[in-house]
């Protein structure tokens, strides 16, 4: 980098230079603000003036300024930063950019966050490991909704220090009163959100005022410049005073004589000889060896990638957490959390999402959305769903107990993401407030008679035959014939039919998307119980959403779920219209009707597909029976 060389003259002793460099601490900061507040220009100015821009990069920005520049004949410094074609063309920032620079005193990672509301989700990535937030406000406009939204996100992520840069001071004639009133207003807002420290500085990214040096525009301000603030703000490293936690990433077994548990120390430290516990099993052992990146260690610290060898053979795998035996990590499966929603499809309570928390993975559903945050007022609103970029407080339930810490104690073991099970998009990011109940109290009771024993007793392998398809596709007719044929083969069966179940178990549910999700969740759970009882369960439900069918599949064991798509074209169903429902829906008398004004998500890879325009009811039932005979032995 050019920076160090500039002031110190050409260095000659490489070891001394590198040692100084390696010992320099690092500040990771995120820059946020609304669109057009001048974030990219400010960062460009900071890099350029601190001599962290290479000549050819500056020359390229000069050339681009003629095409895209917004500063007349001057070089548009924002073009040093905005890396995507669309960003340069539109003059906005779409995704976060990471910039690396250093001065004689510190090294920096600057994360430039997008200002547009629709890209707010992109800033969570950059905020999650930032030490400080640099919040930009346009002196002419004052605090905007987006300023509050960003402040909410960074407060939720746990950033407690903010540098408030009031920018474009040149456009308000460096008016001290303007500066003070924005600072006062922000201090109040920030205080309500739990941001502890706000340090303000008046700047102009365009003229460079108070970026690296005072330029005479603000004689009333005698505080440090922006760079001086960044160089001196105190950095608290994550996890320094925490309890020892190692989320297990990988079990290292290169040969029978070595078994180590690899991962990165999330908090606290570990020493040879220390007593540790594997949180899922509760089994204790002692640390026999610590392998660091460069060999054996006496002690490992937060952020260090290690492999632990324990004195005893205990069962530990990916997703488990090794912790201090004196302060063992808790496990739980039900949490109160803050959640930021990041997907254009709204969050649906009761829907199953994949969750990732440290190295653990599983399924999760939001059982209760307590409130949504009103960004403008900071107040709480009642809500049924969360839309893109909304923040809420909810209860979340997992399909298994996982090791965790409250986020306030450890970022690395208390933050999680939710993933949509069909699109695979990362749809939400959350932080654990606290566990609602300790999983140890409600652990699954192991009964002496289990599924295997029951199926042996009745002599069949249980399974779920899940018939999905449009209304009028022929599901119920085929299901009925199929059950008759299975009975004739002396199989124990039960048929769960959509209409029939809605008369009883699910009579409280309507046909909105949320109710459809809950409808299928209950059916899936009932089917699971019946499989546990040893039955062959035939389910005949429209079940329009892929993610709910996948959830039902995940409830039973591998191979026990047979998805059967009763594939009848919409025109054919509509022509048959056995219950006259299509006619009603078309007239507008029936809302949310699948295929008409509510979507049906076609199965992508079902075990069986029945084309009812080609097969008779008997042939369809025989096809299912043939599939069962080919895939299972019949009796265990």
Active-site residue, 540 included: no
Shortest Å, Cβ 108 to other proteins: 11
- Please tell me whether residue 6 adopts helix, strand or coil conformation: helix
Shortest Å, Cβ 593 to other proteins: 29
Shortest Å, Cβ 176 to other proteins: 15
The nearer residue to other proteins, 251 or 505, going by C-beta atoms, is: 251
What the block records as the tokens of 345 is 């499809």
Shortest Å, Cβ 317 to other proteins: 10
The nearer residue to other proteins, 24 or 454, going by C-beta atoms, is: 24
The nearer residue to other proteins, 340 or 562, going by C-beta atoms, is: 340
The nearer residue to other proteins, 127 or 610, going by C-beta atoms, is: 127
The nearer residue to other proteins, 44 or 462, going by C-beta atoms, is: 44
Which of the following is catalytic: 354, 410, 455, 543?
Answer: 543
Whole-angstrom distance, CA of residue 26 vs CA of residue 102: 9
DSSP 576-631: H-TTSHHHHHHHTSS-S-BTTTB-----SS-SEEEETTTS-HHHHHHHHHHHHHHH
Compute φ and ψ for 136, nearest 5 degrees: -100, 135
CB 524 within 8 A of CB 548: yes
Task: Report the DSSP pairing between strands 197-202 and 107-112.
Answer: unpaired
CB 531 within 8 A of CB 562: no
The nearer residue to other proteins, 221 or 541, going by C-beta atoms, is: 221
Shortest Å, Cβ 125 to other proteins: 5
What the block records as the tokens of 496 is 């769960």
Buried b (16+ CB within 10 A) or exposed e, 550-586: bbbbbbbeeebbbbbbbbbebeebbeebeeebbeebe
Closest CA to 396 of 347, 334, 330: 334
Compute the 3-state secondary structure of the chain and give helix, strand, coil in percent, each to the nearest 5.
30, 30, 40
Shortest Å, Cβ 23 to other proteins: 7
Shortest Å, Cβ 54 to other proteins: 4
End-to-end CA distance of the chain: 69
Closest CA to 340 of 384, 365, 364, 372: 372
Task: Report the DSSP pairing between strands 415-419 and 352-357.
Answer: antiparallel
The nearer residue to other proteins, 162 or 495, going by C-beta atoms, is: 162
Distances, alpha carbon 606 to alpha carbons 377, 465, 468, 595, in Å: 48, 11, 10, 19
The nearer residue to other proteins, 14 or 488, going by C-beta atoms, is: 14
What is the maximum span of the chain, computed from C-alpha positions, in angstroms? 96
H helices of 441-597, where? Answer: 451-458, 475-488, 498-503, 513-532, 546-555, 570-576, 581-587
Torsion of CA 214, 218, 221, 224, to 10 degrees: -20
Give the residue numbers marked as catalytic: 543
């Amino acid at each position: 980098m050019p920076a160090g060389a500039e002031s110190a003259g050409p260095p000659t002793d490489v070891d001394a230079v590198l040692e100084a460099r390696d010992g320099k601490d690092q500040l990771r900061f995120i820059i946020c603000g609304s669109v057009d507040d001048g974030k990219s220009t400010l960062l460009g100015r900071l890099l350029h003036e601190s001599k962290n821009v290479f000549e050819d990069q500056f020359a390229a920005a000069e050339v681009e300024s003629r095409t895209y520049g917004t500063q007349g004949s001057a070089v548009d410094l924002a073009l040093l930063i905005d890396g995507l074609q669309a960003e340069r063309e539109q003059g906005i920032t779409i995704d976060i950019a990471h910039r690396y620079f250093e001065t004689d005193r510190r090294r920096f990672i600057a994360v430039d966050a997008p200002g547009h509301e629709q890209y707010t989700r992109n800033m969570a990535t950059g905020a999650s490991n930032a030490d400080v937030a640099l919040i930009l406000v346009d002196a002419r406009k004052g605090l905007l909704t987006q300023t509050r939204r960003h402040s909410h996100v960074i407060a939720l992520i746990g950033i407690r220090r903010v540098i408030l840069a009031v920018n474009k001071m040149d456009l308000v004639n460096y008016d001290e009163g303007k500066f003070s009133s924005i600072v006062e207003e922000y201090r109040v807002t920030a205080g309500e959100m739990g941001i502890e420290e706000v340090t303000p500085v008046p700047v102009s990214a365009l003229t460079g005022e108070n970026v690296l040096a005072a330029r005479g525009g603000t004689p009333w301000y005698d505080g440090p410049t922006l760079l001086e603030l960044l160089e001196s703000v105190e950095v608290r490293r994550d996890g320094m005073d925490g309890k020892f936690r190692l989320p297990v990433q990988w079990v290292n077994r290169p040969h029978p004589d070595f078994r180590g548990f690899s991962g990165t120390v999330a908090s606290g430290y570990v020493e040879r000889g220390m007593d540790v516990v594997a949180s899922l099993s509760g089994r204790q052992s002692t640390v026999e060896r610590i392998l660091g990146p460069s060999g054996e260690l006496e002690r490992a610290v937060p952020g260090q990638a290690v492999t632990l060898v324990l004195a005893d053979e205990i069962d530990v795998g990916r997703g488990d957490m090794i912790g201090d035996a004196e302060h063992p990590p808790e496990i739980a499966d039900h949490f109160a959390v803050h959640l930021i929603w990041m997907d254009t499809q709204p969050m649906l309570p009761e829907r199953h999402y994949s969750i990732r928390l440290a190295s653990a993975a599983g399924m999760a559903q939001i059982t209760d959305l307590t409130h949504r945050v009103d960004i403008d007022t900071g107040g709480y609103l009642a809500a049924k769903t969360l839309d893109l970029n909304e923040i809420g407080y909810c209860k979340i339930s997992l399909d298994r107990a996982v090791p965790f810490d409250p986020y306030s104690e450890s970022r690395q073991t208390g933050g999680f993401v939710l993933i949509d099970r069909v699109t695979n998009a990362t749809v939400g990011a959350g932080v654990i407030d606290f566990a609602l109940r300790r999983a140890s109290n409600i652990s699954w009771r192991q009964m002496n008679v289990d599924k295997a024993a029951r199926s042996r007793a009745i002599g069949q392998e249980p399974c779920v035959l899940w018939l999905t398809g449009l209304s009028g596709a022929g599901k119920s007719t085929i299901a009925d014939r199929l059950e008759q044929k299975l009975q004739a083969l002396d199989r124990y069966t039960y048929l769960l039919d959509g209409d029939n179940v809605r008369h009883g178990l699910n009579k409280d549910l309507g046909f909105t998307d949320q109710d459809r999700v809950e409808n299928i969740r209950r059916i899936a759970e009932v089917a699971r119980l019946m499989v546990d009882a040893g039955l062959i369960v035939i389910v005949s439900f429209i079940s329009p959403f892929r993610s709910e069918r996948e959830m039902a599949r995940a409830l039973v064991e591998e191979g026990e779920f047979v998805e059967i798509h009763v594939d009848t074209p919409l025109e054919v169903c509509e022509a048959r219209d056995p219950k006259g429902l299509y006619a009603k829906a078309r007239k507008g008398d029936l809302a949310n009707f699948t295929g008409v004004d509510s979507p049906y998500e076609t199965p992508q890879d079902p075990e069986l597909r029945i084309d009812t325009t080609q097969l008779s009811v008997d042939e369809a039932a025989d096809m299912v029976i043939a599939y069962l005979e080919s895939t299972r032995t019949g009796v265990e």
